[in-house]
Chain A
């Protein structure tokens, strides 16, 4: 059941804009790792590199699952998803004119997830009761918080081994942010999920993280091997607010 994501010396960018410079990080089986840093620092770009949506110009991204190692920079996004990696994208990216249930069912598109679709759907409605009530409602007509729940539910429908979550707090009112982060924490314990979460909301993220990295201007500036290390570090405020 071993799973290990290894990112080594990755540099990437859009056209001439260098978003990442020599980033290295690892995520082991069952861990929840936080990728922290304010916006525009490359967190989303790194997530997209892992998902094959952005090709790094240097470095390697490899995923070891049950003994076989896959070079994610060579695979298409669909192939990576089929390995059991799911991403809750920034801004949720739901299908606005499809119903809640249709969005959830689309989450289970990958063959390995299709067999357990009924069970996973029941779980999704159990974890997010609000979605059960709005089963027939169009995803676009739901509030920010509900859309975030649906986006997480949809990712879970693919029965992932590794769950990437990109800025779950985006556009959510503060009380909803802590609720969403708590739910992600619960998923970890309930399914033994391995989670890599990019989040700007420092205190919220370290509530559920085992350890974390701080990324500023596309470079990892600090690696906290434990939450305690992250918390005492007074550098954090300086990195975060660039004062």
Chain B
């Protein structure tokens, strides 16, 4: 797979159009869409709910993938490895937010330019940190479901996409339940809407945002595990996913968690169809073209405020 090659595709895209191929493209698009939703969940909490310009989210996710690769080296199943990384990433997320809060949000200075530049710097540091630790060549993981595929009608679907899609759906379901059914979850959804009002409910907004940012980072660890399951990973892969993850979150609309799945599917299917019609070289422009369209026409996204 060439460096920075977009979606890892597994069948050559003939230029001719046929319903049968369209059908296959849609099926593959759905699986790809679940994966795109999975890699964007952490960002939909950090940026969608908390309004934190977290451009370092993909870099955190890639480091989750490397964590999975390290644990896989000790015989861990990749998904199990992703789960075991979550507590560690949770603490890192809490610490990172605390630092961001003290440096920017607390001083009420318009974090604007400096907040975004801060996370851009963090992304660079993580990316190069990974290169220094693990070198630039690509890393993969072994598992029963990686590399094998099952037949679905006359289509061969790689199992790793099914597993990835499944874990993604479970992750999204749990997070959505957590956010709507628990006290802290509801407070997380409320904090960006009216912080002083949340204090009146007896909740400390800073602690709530710190907790939420911890969750966003922990989720990014598991997404990282899915990333390395789906395809080989290298430190610079985060650059490919910055645009995609922000496209999904902006398309979903700020403040709407459930929109992330729908947005991921729309992105996955449209990219898959473009892949089929015009080939891989056009695929990366799909998510970004969609992003510009959404920003121009409906910046609050499909389900947002």
Q: Which residues in A have some Cβ–Cβ distance to B below 8 Å?
A: 51, 53, 76-78, 81-82, 86-87, 89, 93-98, 102, 105-110, 114, 154, 158
Contacts and interface: CB of A to CB of B under 8 A. Distances in A.
Contacts of B190: 95, 98, 102, 106
Contacts of A95: 189-190, 193-194, 197
A98 B193 CA distance: 9
A102 B305 contact: no
Contacts of B305: 96-97
A150 to B, nearest CB: 12
A107 B204 CA distance: 14
Interface string B177-212: 000100100110110011011111111100000000
B255 interface: yes
B198 to A, nearest CB: 8
B201 A81 contact: yes
A92 to B, nearest CB: 9
Contact of A158 (B196, B199, B201): B201
B200 A98 contact: no
Nearest to B254: A97
A103 to B, nearest CB: 8
Contact of A109 (B180, B187, B189, B193): B187
A102 B199 contact: no
18 contacts: A53-B196, A53-B199, A76-B204, A77-B200, A81-B201, A82-B202, A86-B200, A89-B197, A95-B189, A95-B194, A97-B305, A102-B180, A102-B186, A105-B183, A105-B186, A106-B198, A109-B201, A154-B201
B207 to A, nearest CB: 9
Interface of B: 180, 183, 186-187, 189-190, 193-194, 196-204, 255, 305
A126 B190 CA distance: 25
A82 B199 CA distance: 11
B199 A78 contact: yes
Contacts of B199: 53, 76-78, 81
Given A102-B186, A105-B186, A93 B194 contact: yes
Contacts of B198: 106
B228 to A, nearest CB: 35
Contacts of A109: 183, 187, 201-203
Rank and list the top 6 A-B pairs by shortest CB-CB distance, nearest first. A81-B202, A110-B202, A93-B197, A77-B199, A109-B201, A95-B190
A86 to B, nearest CB: 8
Contacts of B202: 78, 81-82, 109-110, 158
Contacts of B183: 105-106, 108-109, 114
Contacts of B200: 51, 77, 81, 86-87, 89, 93
A138 to B, nearest CB: 9
A96 B203 CA distance: 18
Contacts of A93: 194, 196-197, 200
Contacts of A51: 200
A81 B194 CA distance: 17
Contacts of A86: 200
Contacts of B193: 95-98
Given A93-B196, A97-B305, A109-B183, A102 B201 contact: no
Contacts of A158: 201-202
A234 to B, nearest CB: 38
Q: Which of B187, B201, B204, B305 has the most CB of A within 10 A?
A: B201
Contacts of B189: 95, 97-98, 102
Q: Which of A53, A77, A81, A102 has the most CB of B within 10 A?
A: A77
Contacts of A96: 193-194, 305
A77 B204 CA distance: 8
Contacts of A53: 196, 199
B85 to A, nearest CB: 30
Given A93-B200, A94-B197, A114-B183, 20 more contacts: A51-B200, A53-B196, A76-B204, A78-B202, A81-B199, A81-B200, A81-B201, A89-B196, A94-B194, A95-B194, A97-B305, A98-B190, A98-B193, A102-B186, A106-B186, A106-B190, A106-B201, A109-B201, A109-B202, A110-B201
